[in-house]
């Protein structure tokens, strides 16, 4: 993880409409949405309300009345990895989907309308990592940031950064800021000079059971307390809490195996 500054304004205020390429939403598809809602509700203080049902039963998570994430149900016959998926803003999801395909990626879902909320597509980059594209209408995306219980950063874990960074630069217009190091392969993706996501090349250290995948960091007030709570709720600690230049971080998984990270920012 590198610089994970929020793209939102002061006091958690969020721009009305994100610039193309900005991470604007995170969504999780699971087999047991009721149990998953109970887990995240207890961990982050989320409440839930129904959302668009185009892809099956779906709810939006609210924090103090502000939308922060989505949880849906996978069809019983679909045995896909349970994973948090980041969505990147687009002014024209159909055009973005065409660009994804022309750059070696794939589109697995859509583009399709999500009622009056907006238009979406779900695809994967050339390495196989899944991401979403969101063209906002009534639903602009995550409406609060910078407080515990909200997405704070999205990071792609992959084999090597250079090739896949070129893909995301072409599709979304990111500027690349590589870390100059012989033993650390990392590229920060910037928009308008501000960091919005990262790509971490792990080489052979990348877990083969998952392959390349995006990881969402959620902000918490105290990582160690959150870990205790997570384990009590049936979650799993994948990497214990450790201090970084950007705060205290831990890698975890929910009871269905969806991996994510907890971030306690430096004060």
Q: Which residues contact 112 (CB under 8 A, 6 or more apart)?
A: 54, 119, 120, 121
Global pTM reads: 0.92
Cα–Cα distance, 72 to 78 (Å, whole number): 13
Helix ranges (DSSP H) in 64-160: 93-102
Contact by Cβ (8 Å): 68, 61 = yes
β-sheet bridge partners, residue 190 = 175, 195
| Per-residue pLDDT in tens (0 to 9) along the chain, 267 residues | 654 444 333 334 444 578 999 999 999 999 999 999 999 999 999 999 999 887 789 999 999 999 999 999 998 777 777 999 999 999 999 999 999 999 999 999 999 999 999 999 999 999 999 999 999 999 999 999 999 999 999 999 999 999 999 999 999 999 999 987 878 999 999 999 999 999 999 998 998 788 999 999 999 999 999 999 999 999 999 999 999 888 999 999 999 999 999 999 987
């Amino acid at each position: 993880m590198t610089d994970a500054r929020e793209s939102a304004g002061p006091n958690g205020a969020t721009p009305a409409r994100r610039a193309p390429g900005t991470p604007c939403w995170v969504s999780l598809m699971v087999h047991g949405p009721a149990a998953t809602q109970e887990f995240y509700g207890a961990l982050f203080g989320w409440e839930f309300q129904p959302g668009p049902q185009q892809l099956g039963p779906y709810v939006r998570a609210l924090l103090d009345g502000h939308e922060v994430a989505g949880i849906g149900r996978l069809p019983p016959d679909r045995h896909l990895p349970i994973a948090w998926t980041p969505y990147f803003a687009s002014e024209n999801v159909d055009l973005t989907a065409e660009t994804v395909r022309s750059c070696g990626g794939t589109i697995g879902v859509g583009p399709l309308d999500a009622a009056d909320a907006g238009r979406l597509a779900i695809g994967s980059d050339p390495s196989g990592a899944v991401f979403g594209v969101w063209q906002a209408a009534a639903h602009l995306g995550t409406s609060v940031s910078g407080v515990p219980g909200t997405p704070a950063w999205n990071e792609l874990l992959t084999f090597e950064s250079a090739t896949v960074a070129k893909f995301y630069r072409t599709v979304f217009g990111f500027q690349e800021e590589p870390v100059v190091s012989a033993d650390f392969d990392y590229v920060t993706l910037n928009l308008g000079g501000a960091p919005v996501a990262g790509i971490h090349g792990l080489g052979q250290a990348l877990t083969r059971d998952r392959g390349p995948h995006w990881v969402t960091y959620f902000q918490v007030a105290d990582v160690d307390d959150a870990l205790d709570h997570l384990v009590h709720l049936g979650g799993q600690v994948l990497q214990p809490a450790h201090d970084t230049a950007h705060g205290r971080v831990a890698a975890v998984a929910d009871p269905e195996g969806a991996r994510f990270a907890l971030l306690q920012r430096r004060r």
